[in-house]
Structure 1
Amino acid sequence: MNILQNIHAFDVQTFYWCMARKHRVSLTKIGRAISFSADGPLYAAIAAVAWFSGLETLVWVLAFGFLLERAVYFVLKRGFKRNRPAEALDDFSSFIIPSDQFSFPSGHTSGAFFIAFCLSEWFPAFNMVLYFWAANVGLSRIFLGVHFPTDTVIGALLGSACAAFAIGVLI
């Protein structure tokens, strides 16, 4: 149990460091837009464009992998039941109202890294842009005050692992 306490202490310290940045208000405004881009409708639009462009294999990878990612995400979320920063820390309020109660792992970050990984396989010229966007989704969730840093790190690993698995199975 001591290692979990150490991780949480490091997480809280890193979270407060992020919250103390002098440009945090500007980052929060930008973060809302970046976070919104990972809410889900963009993923459906990507799948639709892929389908109508004749990229059926990509659509199947997205569908299978996203179902897997969401299943693992919900198991982890319900299993760990880690409180969000606003609930876990005294005198802190997040800048947005999260869609659910628990923070671990970050579903927005997981979904963003899943999409970035999958699209990078089909469109490698866009690797940098896709991963830059995905990383900024994770950062935005921290700056919006709804996730601790490790929530986003594990979200990134979860999304990437599910994408790699789906691609490995279906291609």
Structure 2
Amino acid sequence: MKTIKPIAKIDLAFSMLCLQHRFNQPVARISKAISHTGDGHLYALFGALAWAIGGSHGSNFLSAGLVAFAIELPIYWLLKNSFQRRRPQELSPVLTAFITPSDRYSLPSGHTTAAFVMATLIGHFYPDCYSVAFMWAALIGSARILLGVHFLTDVIIGAILGASCATISMQLLGVNV
């Protein structure tokens, strides 16, 4: 546990830097909008559109997405409930969250995990869109920090988990990775 303490200190200091500045209210408004794009509705829309207009390529994208989320969700819940890491505002009385999170613990960031599942799949199946998808996923992760509901390491671990689950799903389905 000693090796985690320095990381936790850096996480808390970074959160304080992100949340205690005079522009935190306008930044939070923008961050809410960005974070909302990672609530899940767009993932279903992307999958449905790919399936409807993408032929077998779109069907493979949808299948890989369904398998990736079937892998990701249990791992996400297992990690979240095993680590039981408290959220930033619970660790410092000077930090305020700008939204109410949908669950109790912070590690890993579920929004970031899901966004990186989608970014990885989009990058593989639609390479021309990879840069935009990756930036969108990174913005979702950043927004979660700027809203005060996640630490930097929650987002980093979420990104790794999401990309890994997407890659594993494509390997399981025999999609050339």
Is TM (by shorter chain) over 0.5?
A: yes
Short-chain TM bin: over 0.9
Which runs of 5 or more residues in structure 1 are unaligned?
A: none
Distance 1:22 1:76 in 2: 34
Indicate whether 1:95 and 2:105 are aligned.
no
Residues 102-150 of structure 1 show CA distances to partners (whole Å, capped at 9, x for unaligned) of: 0000000000011000011111111111111100000000000100110
- In the alignment of these two chains, the number of paired residues is 171
What TM-score, normalized to structure 2?
A: 0.93
Matches within 5 A, 1:91-170: 91-170=94-173
Aligned ranges 1:36-51 → 2 under 5 Å? 36-51=36-51
Following superposition, which runs of at least 4 residues in structure 1 exceed 2 angstroms of deviation? 20-26
Once residues 34 and 76 of structure 1 are traced to their aligned partners in structure 2, the CA distance between those partners, rounded to angstroms, is 25
State the AA in 2 paired with 1:30: I
Q: Once the 2 structures are TM-superposed, how far is the Cα of residue 169 of structure 1 from its aligned partner?
A: 1.6
- How far residue 89 of structure 1 moved from its aligned partner, in angstroms, is 1.6
In 1: Cα distance, 2:153 partner to 2:118 partner: 20
Query: 2:26 aligns to what?
Result: 26
What's 1:56 paired with?
Answer: 59
Q: Is the 8 A contact 2:20 2:95 kept in 1?
A: no
When residues 17 and 91 of structure 1 are mapped into structure 2, their CA distance, relative to the original with a 3 A threshold, is: closer
3-state SS of the aligned residue for 1:100? coil
Aligned equivalents of 2:20 and 2:96: distance in 1? 14
